[in-house]
């Protein structure tokens, strides 16, 4: 029977790479009776899916009828045969969402504008649909299992042989992390475990006793952990002002690191507080104008400039902003050549990628002159900031890490069913006045309650019992399989973590742990021990909650192997199937700019190669296993022979690396002796590819160095992509004839 792998079409670099890689994958998989079918979960496809009713019947996007592929895959995760390869996708900030809407409209798709200030019921409905697409809208739907992320041994070996630089560090480095000391999410957290199944609704009770329902009742399962907490806006503003002063005094760059994409409700509001405080006088002086043109600081300085464009007061306001920048502490830059600051776009600086990049750069970020400079990294909430502080302190004391000798850090992350903060969006509210926000059960009893004032950010999180049980199981299994010590990172000072720890202690008793080293430590102790071990070349498994999973699986891969793109990232679905994420990083937008400018794509598809091998293994048929084993060997050859993309024009790029994957994979299939049919099938393919190696690789190289038109950024044209991503007919012919 034909087996199926769903392969996702996403955005930016991984989407471009797919245009070249997928035809190879499909051709090889077909020989084992495996159908690799695409599902489009890109940002534009997701927008079209929610507005399908507004499109004419039979509307087509990227060569296929418009369907809700994310909903399809989300439901499919519950099928025990699910086998999904998931590439990184854009978690859109509002500026990105608006840009994608504009491109769709330009291409004739009649989707509505994003209503900034919805007034009518219709506008509110449109806004609600867009808010579903916004931010991290894909991963929480598909991640119906916990997370197993690690560097494949071959990748680790490669990094040891070809170490990148992790910068230089010593005690004199002025870079540091600054967090609030009170009134943050960390300080205000309360948590309970539900003794019985129940429901909860969220209400605001004003000072005068008026009750307003913020969210209707939703079910709670027995054993579920429920938290509530609040970030006090006035304290946050005061803290930001102090940190600006301090950065200026210390003569370091001022930078802010948040996760406005994944934390799509809370973090843009915090980002907005930074914009408002940095440009306090400007926002006060031009309050009326900003109201008139619809400025919302949560969307950043970039959006403000767009709204000012062509306004009679444009020059005056820009001068005031320039003056504020000149007066304030030096701002960290995203792109100094274009004048794009840390405060321009909420999704430009994303903490999981930005902090490791800074650590690798000896604690430096870019200043306005395009030079590296030490920085203050402001991370307001203390819940997770401590691990970066500990890393920086460790590097100051012990020097930079050395990729040629350091150990590896694997991660087992609690992620399933919207665990913890990453599932909190529908339970996050900005308080509209002074009073109480509370969670109330079916009997009317108050489960959790927080005092709030206008502007405070109230947030509730859930973590269900079954995922926690599954996470403990996964941790024990990984510790056994990898033969490494595993540490649960749980903070005794956090109410939520104390509830989790009670469960972990109970569930660990269900296993025979003899011969294993499994411990529970606070995040600061855990990272210290993990780094001390890594420095000595020793390996450790970090067993963490959802946010730390995200942070650590960029931090350690970037330190160890230079990028998280090369990670194996498996989600064993709780219903029995598997989702294979490719790498643990993002969609690398900077690389798209390079591709468009010079037809050079430096996306490294190694994450895809490893995900594919794991996916084929899961298919499990004898032929699929042969394909998987041959692919494993091909992957090693890719690394041994250095056939991963180089950074700069003129080198082997993404397409060249795909050629070598095809060649090595075919060679391995041709020489294996387990399946003679496959060997016979691939012998001529291997021969043809080997014979044409020089011709194809030099034709791919010759194609580089020109500017590229693919029809748009979000809305691209399939024929144009084919032309640019599969430019060598001789290569295409061999693949298409398999």
Ligand X SMILES: O=C(O)CCC(=O)C(=O)O
Positions touching Mg ion (CB under 5 A) are: 352, 550
Q: How far, in whole angstroms, is CA 702 from its chain's centroid?
A: 34
Least distance in Å: CB of 584 to Mg ion?
6
Least distance in Å: CB of 36 to ligand NDP?
20
Q: Residue 327 and residue 237: Cα distance in Å, rounded?
A: 18
Quick one: what does residue 565 bind among ligand X, ligand NDP, Mg ion, none, with the CB cut-off 5 to 8 Å set by partner type?
ligand NDP
SS3 content of the chain, % helix, strand, coil (to 5): 50, 20, 35
Q: Does 13 interact with ligand X (rule: CB under 6 A)? A: no
Q: How far, in whole angstroms, is CA 295 from its chain's centroid?
A: 28
Least distance in Å: CB of 549 to ligand X?
7
Given a contact cutoff of 8 angstroms between Cβ atoms, the answer to whether 285 and 276 are in contact is no
Q: Residue 202 and residue 104: Cα distance in Å, rounded?
A: 37
550 is in an annotated binding site: yes
Nearer to Mg ion, 584 or 725 (CB): 584
Nearer to ligand X, 47 or 253 (CB): 47
Nearer to ligand NDP, 62 or 603 (CB): 603
Nearer to ligand X, 203 or 470 (CB): 470
Q: Does 550 interact with ligand X (rule: CB under 6 A)? A: yes
Q: How far is CA 80 from CA 134, 138, 520, 576, in A?
A: 29, 20, 32, 4
Q: Given the structure tokens 């299939």, which residue do they identify? A: 669
Q: Does 136 interact with ligand X (rule: CB under 6 A)? A: yes
Among 42, 96, 146, 261, interactor with ligand X by CB under 6 A: 261
Q: Residue 55 and residue 456: Cα distance in Å, rounded?
A: 40
Binding-residue total with ligand X (CB under 6 A):
9
DSSP string, 459-481: EEEEE-HHHHHHHHHHHHHHHHH
> Do the bridges between strand 211-220 and strand 198-206 make them parallel or antiparallel, or are there none, so unpaired?
antiparallel
140 is in an annotated binding site: yes
Nearer to Mg ion, 415 or 628 (CB): 415
Least distance in Å: CB of 34 to ligand X?
26
Nearer to Mg ion, 95 or 585 (CB): 585
Q: Which residues bind ligand NDP (CB under 6 A)?
A: 88-91, 139, 261, 347, 350, 353, 563, 565, 583, 585-590, 602-604
Nearer to ligand NDP, 34 or 559 (CB): 559
Least distance in Å: CB of 262 to ligand NDP?
7
Calculate the CA dihedral of residues 131, 132, 135, 139 and round it to 10 degrees: 170
Cα angle 413, 388, 495 (rounded to 5 degrees) comes to 55
Among 8, 10, 42, 139, interactor with ligand X by CB under 6 A: 139
Q: Residue 407 and residue 239: Cα distance in Å, rounded?
A: 37
Least distance in Å: CB of 421 to ligand NDP?
16
139 is in an annotated binding site: yes
Least distance in Å: CB of 560 to ligand X?
16
141 is in an annotated binding site: yes
Among 69, 148, 166, 352, interactor with ligand X by CB under 6 A: 352
Q: Residue 469 and residue 472: Cα distance in Å, rounded?
A: 5
Q: Does 262 interact with ligand X (rule: CB under 6 A)? A: yes
Q: Does 66 interact with ligand X (rule: CB under 6 A)? A: no
Q: Does 228 interact with ligand X (rule: CB under 6 A)? A: no
Least distance in Å: CB of 553 to Mg ion?
6
Q: Residue 119 and residue 396: Cα distance in Å, rounded?
A: 53
Q: How far, in whole angstroms, is CA 552 from its chain's centroid?
A: 12
Q: Residue 627 and residue 633: Cα distance in Å, rounded?
A: 10
Work out the number of other CB atoms within 10 angstroms of the CB of residue 37: 9
Q: Given the structure tokens 């329902």, which residue do they identify? A: 213
Describe the crossing of helices 622-640 and 654-671 by its angle, rounded to 10 degrees.
130
352 is in an annotated binding site: yes
Nearer to ligand NDP, 139 or 188 (CB): 139
Q: Residue 531 and residue 390: Cα distance in Å, rounded?
A: 10
Nearer to ligand X, 126 or 584 (CB): 584
Nearer to ligand NDP, 485 or 589 (CB): 589
Q: Residue 272 and residue 237: Cα distance in Å, rounded?
A: 10
- If you count them, how many residues does the chain have? 738
Least distance in Å: CB of 405 to ligand NDP?
21
Q: Residue 271 and residue 375: Cα distance in Å, rounded?
A: 18
14 is in an annotated binding site: no
Q: Residue 88 and residue 138: Cα distance in Å, rounded?
A: 10
Residue nearest to Mg ion (CB): 352
Q: Residue 308 and residue 321: Cα distance in Å, rounded?
A: 12
Nearer to ligand X, 31 or 410 (CB): 410
Least distance in Å: CB of 416 to ligand X?
13
Least distance in Å: CB of 625 to ligand NDP?
27
- Token pair in block for residue 207: 């000072």
Cβ neighbors of 200 (< 8 A, separation 6 or more) are: 217, 218, 220, 226, 439, 440, 441, 447
Q: How far is CA 624 from CA 2, 48, 382, 431, in A?
A: 11, 35, 47, 54
Quick one: what does residue 407 bind among ligand X, Mg ion, ligand NDP, none, with the CB cut-off 5 to 8 Å set by partner type?
none
Round to the nearest angstrom and report the end-to-end CA distance of the chain.
20
Quick one: what does residue 299 bind among ligand X, ligand NDP, Mg ion, none, with the CB cut-off 5 to 8 Å set by partner type?
none
143 is in an annotated binding site: yes
Quick one: what does residue 604 bind among Mg ion, ligand X, ligand NDP, none, with the CB cut-off 5 to 8 Å set by partner type?
ligand NDP
Quick one: what does residue 656 bind among Mg ion, ligand X, ligand NDP, none, with the CB cut-off 5 to 8 Å set by partner type?
none
Binding-site members for substrate are 136-143
**Which spans of this chain sit near ligand X (rule: CB under 6 A)?**
91, 136, 139, 261-262, 352, 550, 553, 584
Binding-site members for D-threo-isocitrate are 149, 549
Binding-site members for Mg(2+) are 352, 550, 554
Binding-site members are 136-143, 149, 352, 549-550, 554
């Amino acid at each position: 029977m034909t087996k199926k792998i769903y392969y996702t079409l996403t955005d930016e670099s991984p989407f471009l790479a797919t245009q070249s890689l997928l035809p190879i994958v499909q051709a090889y998989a077909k020989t084992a009776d495996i159908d690799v079918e695409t599902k489009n979960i890109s940002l534009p496809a997701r927008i079209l899916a929610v507005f399908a009713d507004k499109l004419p019947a039979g509307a087509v996007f990227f060569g296929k009828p418009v369907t809700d592929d994310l909903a399809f895959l989300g439901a499919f995760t519950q099928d025990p045969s699910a086998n999904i390869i998931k590439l990184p996708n854009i978690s859109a900030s509002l500026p990105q969402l608006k840009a994608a809407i504009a491109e769709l409209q330009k291409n004739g798709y009649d989707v509505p504008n994003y209503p900034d200030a919805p007034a009518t019921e219709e506008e509110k409905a449109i806004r609600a649909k867009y808010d579903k697409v916004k931010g991290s809208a894909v991963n929480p739907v598909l991640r119906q299992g916990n997370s197993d992320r690690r560097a494949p041994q071959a990748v680790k070996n490669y990094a040891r042989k070809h170490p990148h630089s992790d910068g230089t560090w010593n005690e004199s480095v002025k870079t540091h992390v600054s967090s609030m000391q009170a009134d943050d999410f960390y300080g205000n957290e309360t948590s309970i475990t539900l003794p019985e199944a129940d429901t909860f609704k969220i209400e605001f009770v004003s000072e005068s006793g008026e009750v307003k329902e913020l969210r209707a009742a939703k079910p709670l399962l027995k054993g579920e952990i429920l938290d509530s907490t609040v970030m006090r806006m006035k304290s946050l503003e005061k803290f930001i002002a102090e940190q600006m002063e301090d950065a200026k005094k210390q003569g370091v760059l001022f930078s802010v690191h948040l996760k406005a994409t994944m934390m799509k409700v809370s973090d843009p509001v915090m980002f907005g507080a930074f914009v408002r405080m940095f440009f306090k006088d400007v926002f006060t002086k031009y309050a009326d104008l900003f109201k008139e043109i619809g400025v919302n600081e949560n969307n950043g300085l970039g959006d403000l400039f767009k709204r000012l464009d062509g306004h009679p007061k444009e020059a005056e306001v820009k001068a005031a902003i320039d003056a504020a920048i000149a007066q304030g502490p030096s701002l960290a830059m995203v792109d100094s050549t274009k004048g794009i600051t840390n405060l321009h776009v909420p999704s430009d600086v994303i903490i999981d990628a930005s902090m490791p990049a800074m650590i690798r750069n000896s604690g430096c970020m870019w200043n306005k002159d395009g030079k590296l400079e030490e920085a203050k990294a402001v991370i307001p909430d203390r819940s997770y900031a401590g691990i970066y502080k500990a890393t920086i302190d460790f590097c100051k004391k012990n020097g930079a890490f050395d990729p040629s000798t350091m150990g590896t850090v694997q991660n087992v992350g609690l992620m399933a069913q919207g665990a913890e903060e990453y599932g909190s969006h529908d339970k996050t509210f900005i308080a509209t006045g002074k009073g109480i926000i509370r969670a109330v059960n079916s009997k009317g009893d108050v489960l959790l309650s927080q005092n709030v004032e206008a502007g405070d950010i109230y947030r509730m999180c859930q973590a269900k019992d079954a995922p926690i049980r599954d996470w403990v199981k996964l941790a024990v299994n990984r510790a056994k399989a990898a033969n490494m010590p595993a540490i649960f990172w749980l903070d005794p000072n956090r109410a939520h973590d104390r509830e989790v720890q009670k469960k972990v202690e109970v569930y660990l008793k269900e296993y025979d742990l003899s011969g294993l080293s499994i411990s529970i430590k606070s995040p600061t102790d855990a990272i210290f021990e993990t780094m001390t071990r890594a420095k000595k070349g020793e390996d450790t498994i970090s067993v963490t909650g959802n946010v730390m999973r995200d942070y650590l699986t960029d931090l350690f891969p970037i330190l160890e192997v230079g990028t998280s793109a090369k990670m194996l990232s498996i989600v064993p679905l709780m219903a029995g199937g598997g989702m294979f994420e490719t790498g643990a990083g993002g969609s690398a937008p900077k690389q798209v700019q390079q591709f468009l400018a010079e037809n050079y794509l430096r996306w490294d598809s190694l994450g895809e190669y490893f995900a594919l091998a794991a996916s084929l293994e899961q298919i499990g048929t004898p032929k699929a296993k042969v394909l998987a084993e041959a692919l494993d060997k091909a992957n090693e050859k890719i690394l041994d022979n250095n056939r991963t993309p180089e950074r700069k024009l003129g080198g082997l790029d993404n397409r060249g690396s795909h050629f070598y994957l095809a060649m090595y994979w075919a060679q391995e299939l041709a020489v294996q002796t387990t399946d003679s049919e496959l060997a016979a099938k691939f012998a001529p393919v291997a021969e043809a590819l080997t014979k044409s190696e020089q011709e194809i690789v030099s034709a791919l190289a010759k194609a580089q160095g020109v500017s590229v038109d693919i029809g748009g950024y979000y809305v691209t044209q399939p024929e144009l992509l084919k032309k640019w991503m599969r430019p060598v007919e001789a290569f295409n012919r061999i693949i298409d004839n398999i």
